[in-house]
Structures are given as structure tokens and as C-alpha cells.
Amino acid sequence: MNFVSTRVVTGDVARLIAFYEQITGIPAKSFTPDFAEINTGTATLAIAGASTVPGFVRPDEKILEFLVDDVDAVEVAEPVLPPTTMPWGNRSMLVRDPDGTLVNLFTPVTPEAKLKFGV
């Protein structure tokens, strides 16, 4: 398991992309109109529109993201979202930690996503 990114959920993806591009000097890579990443070399900031997550996720919520070998094999008593394949090529499951923070456990499944994460 590897901690790979923090995702910020927002109602205005373009506004956040512009802000973080300005302060980091790094251009964002957009995967869909509602999902982009800024990779600093040591960490990745994912910026996602509210439409990319289920309705129970607030637009101001942060999500910690962990790459796992096989998300379908992870046993969690009460997932918030069972394993689901996302448009950008990851199979993801959302859970909440004991303090209520969302945690995304994911496995790349498309060739592009596998290449991106070196799996």
C-alpha cells in the first residue's frame, strides 16, 4: 500500500486549478473536465469536482488516497462506496476513518492508469 495523493473536492475545479498552478508553478494535468492533478514530484494534489464523487461527499471535503494491490480484496466492514471503476482508470473504494475523514483505496485497472502508477 502506498500513500499517493490528497484529493480536494470542490464546486469550482477551474478556480482551484488556477490557484494551485499559480502557487506551485506546475501545470495541472486534466483527466476529465472535473478531475485534474498537480504532481510536485514528491506528492500529488488531485482536484475533483463534486460530480466525481457520490452525493454524500461535501464539496469542501478532502480525501486521502492509497494505492493498493487489489481493491476488490480489501475487507472493510462498511464501505462508503464499494469498489467502483472510475472514468480515469482506477477502481476505487471509499471508506471513512474513525474521525470521519474519507479514504480512497484504489487499484489502477486501465493500461493508462497502470502506466501512470508503474503497475
Domains of the chain: 2-117 (3.10.180.10)
| Helix extents (H) in 1-119 | 13-24, 111-117
> How many angstroms separate the CA atoms of 43 and 105, rounded?
17
Averaged pLDDT, groups of 10, the chain, 119 residues long: 90 92 94 93 91 80 92 91 94 88 94 93
Instruction: Answer whether 0.85 is exceeded by the pTM.
Output: no
